Amino acid sequence: MSTLSNVIKGTAAAVALAMAGAMPAVAQDTVRIGYAISKTGPYAGGASVTLIPNYELWVHQVNEAGGLKLADGKRAKIEVIEYDDRSNSEEAVRAIERLINQDEVDFVLPPWGTALSLATGPIFDRYGYPQLSVTSVSDRIPQLVERWPNAFYFSSTSAAYADGIVDVLTDLREKGEIEGRVAMVNVADQFGIELANAAAKGLEAANFDIVYRQSYPPGSQDMQTIINEVRRLEPEAFLAFSYPPDTIALTDLAIQFDLNPPVFYTAVGTAFPLYKDRFGENAEGVMGTGGLDFDSEAMQEYFAAHKEVTGKEPDRWLSPVTYASLQVLQQAIEKVGKIDREAIAKAMTEGTYDTIVGPMNLANRHYDQGWLVGQWQDGEFKAVGPQRDGAVDVVFPKPDWKK
């Protein structure tokens, strides 16, 4: 599935069927895939943009093509069983155990976010299910792949994302664009804390002046105090290691109260179509995690297919990587030719797979070649870091907010 040219409009319809016993893997004409996903609660925004549409797109395309290719040329269509984990770790654990023990699914796709991925990791490991963690950002990834032999990670570490924006700031300082006054805030969960700690370490090592540092609880409604205090300090860069609701809230308040530093960076949600739709021309120049190379033909085809099938645009960070992780899973299943999870997980570590984000090698069970920093430029969230083929130059300074 290296091309998406022949996409037929529709969405994946999935109904779980009760089965009295397990059929031999080669004889089965369906493959059951389940997931517990945040349809409600604070993680629902991220899940509904990055994961759910790509699950639907992939299932739709596989089934439109006749199903997954198993042994002897047979194909098995995908059935989906899904539960709402309510953005709750305990609920996610219970739902995945139900998928495995009661629904007897063949594969389980991952929940959204670092917290739920870490909470459910032991369940995937206990039952020998491959875990394709795309939206889990953690400095513990090297240790986790050692602990959980069937775990695969498709995003970079917290330190890598933090170093990405520090490198951008360092380059601006070397060009004489800024002197180095930085204000930094973070959501107080593992994701935000890890990134803030890594960024602070990198900024201090590079001799930046951190004039403000503050955390806030997930779901916080009191962002105005933060914005007013940061504005008073007049930093040259504002960095927020944030989730989608606070990314939106912080930007709203920055516009309202004229916090307008030349570098304005927010994390998760900045790359979402929602950000561009909500802020329009005020999105121009805002930086965040992610970014894409829009010159890629495969990426352009993917964008067209995603919108046609799901009715939504993908995000400009981990949506394509989510789809690519499913391409790897599909190719490994078809390489093995049967539903043998151990053999499929092993196959995923062997060779290089063709995906929409380019060749993907998972010998170390960690794909860390994605973009670290993006910036809204001319209506698209383009990669600006690291500076390699496919990246564009940073627009500096960010244009003034328009009211």
pLDDT 10s digits, 225-283: 999 999 999 999 999 999 999 999 999 999 999 999 999 999 999 999 999 999 999 99
The greatest distance separating any two alpha carbons of the chain, rounded to the nearest whole angstrom, comes to: 70
CA distances, 173 to each of 10, 176, 180, 232, 340 (Å):
49, 5, 7, 22, 53
pLDDT 10s digits, 76-117: 999 999 999 999 999 999 999 999 999 999 999 999 998 999
User: Which pLDDT value is given to residue 23?
Assistant: 37
Neighbours of 384 (CB within 10 A): 23
Mean pLDDT, residues 341-347: 97
Q: Are 57 and 10 in contact (CB under 8 A)?
A: no
> What pTM was computed for the model?
0.87
Tell me the pLDDT band of 122, cut-offs 50, 70 and 90: very high
89-124 burial, b at 16+ Cβ within 10 Å, e below that, comes to bebbbebbbebbeebebbbbbbbbbbbbbbbbbebb
User: Which pLDDT value is given to residue 295?
Assistant: 84
Closest CA to 230 of 183, 187, 186, 198: 183
CA distances, 232 to each of 185, 220, 258, 368 (Å):
15, 21, 11, 38
Domains of the chain: 25-155+318-361 (3.40.50.2300), 158-293+372-385 (3.40.50.2300)
User: Which pLDDT value is given to residue 152?
Assistant: 98
User: Which pLDDT value is given to residue 300?
Assistant: 93
Tell me the pLDDT band of 7, cut-offs 50, 70 and 90: very low
pLDDT value at 4 more than 70 = no
Tell me the pLDDT band of 6, cut-offs 50, 70 and 90: very low
Q: Angle at which helices 224-233 and 244-256 pack, to 10 degrees?
A: 50
User: Which pLDDT value is given to residue 294?
Assistant: 84
**% of the chain beyond a pLDDT of 70:** 93
Neighbours of 6 (CB within 10 A): 9
Q: Are 165 and 373 in contact (CB under 8 A)?
A: yes
Please give the Cα distance from 78 to 65 (Å, whole number).
11
pLDDT value at 185 more than 80 = yes
